Chain A
């Protein structure tokens, strides 16, 4: 596609429910990143995929968070038993990883509100 696509753009869920967030990277981009941005704050790294393997999961806040990626395509971030503290914008980015010097391109994000 033309850019990184994330869905849904907005999600309101009840505390305790599970949610799935989807990211479609730019076609051909081998690297994919998930970040969390709380209101008025910076980007918190969650997880990084190279192809469908995740060499760095160090940013996942708890075992309620998981992510997977199918090949060099779609990724889903799953949050189980959501808590109010999970409310944030979840941003996905992808990059063409021929070398590590390439910049990442971001989607518009999914705004998650846990009530």
Chain B
């Protein structure tokens, strides 16, 4: 079985400061990991993914995420937060080993950037 956890319901950061949104996962095989962002009254937008290779992956809007196999984590990061980054962020995982695996999402973390 696969699962993903986002331990923080809310993260508050001052504009210009670095931000981290945490995600941990569990899969039987190789993890395929994704981050999505949801702005108010809009659908989910893909930010970035880890499949294989470099543990640090870069995505849209200056976001990056670090894959850590030993800690089974895939935290989302940004060096300098913008007020416009305020949104709901979802981590997702898929079991790359299974031939018919679904994409499972975490419960979401609301990121609030104060001016």
Contacts and interface: CB of A to CB of B under 8 A. Distances in A.
Interface of A: 33, 35, 41-43, 45, 48, 50, 55-56, 59, 91, 93, 100-101, 103-109
A45 B105 CA distance: 8
A33 B43 contact: no
Contacts of A42: 90, 105-108
B49 A103 contact: yes
B104 interface: yes
B86 to A, nearest CB: 15
Contact of A91 (B43, B45, B104, B108): B43
B42 A45 contact: no
B68 to A, nearest CB: 19
Interface string B75-115: 00000000000000010001010101111111110000000
B90 A43 contact: yes
Contacts of B98: 100
B102 A48 contact: yes
B105 A43 contact: yes
Nearest to B47: A103
Contacts of A108: 42-43
Given A42-B107, A56-B102, A103 B96 contact: no
